[in-house]
Structure 1
């Protein structure tokens, strides 16, 4: 497992946190560690590209970037 930290834009409230959490939980091979306004931290299997995790957040309506 690898840790992936995301910076997420346009999150404003608890509903945003819930929406992002649900989007991340639907990605196979990803375990959600923490989601808060503006950021998320997940554990992902080695074969799960970070780009797929970002796309899941974007499909939920938020711009996301992998923190280095």
Structure 2
């Protein structure tokens, strides 16, 4: 079993976590999806023989910007402070607001 860590932009609420999980879970070989909302980090585990491309494509199709996570991005925390309300008053990829 292998893991791929992704940095996902545009997640800021519980509904986003659900949408990201639902976008990744059905992909072939995916066994687990762990989303850390504050850091924007998503860890996908399973038999991921096709690498990160299908994961990134699924997240793009779901309306999120994603890339492979690096230790620097994870340790500095790329999440930005939110303005008042979910997504700072802007409709997010999750469809809330």
Bin of the TM-score, shorter chain as denominator length: 0.7 to 0.9
Quote the RMSD (CA, aligned, Å).
1.3
| Residues paired across the two proteins, number | 68
Which has the greater radius of gyration? 2
User: Which is richer in strand?
Assistant: 1
What stretches of structure 2 of length at least 5 have no aligned partner?
71-97
Q: Please give the per-residue CA displacement for 1:26-65, whole angstroms capped at 9, x wherever unaligned.
A: 1110122411221210113242221111111111110000
Higher relative contact order structure (alpha carbons within 8 Å, sequence separation ≥ 6): 1
Give the structure-1-normalised TM-score: 0.87
What stretches of structure 1 of length at least 5 have no aligned partner?
none
Give the structure-2-normalised TM-score: 0.64
CA separation in 2, counterparts of 1:20 and 1:46? 17
Stretch deviating more after TM superposition (7-16 or 36-45): 36-45
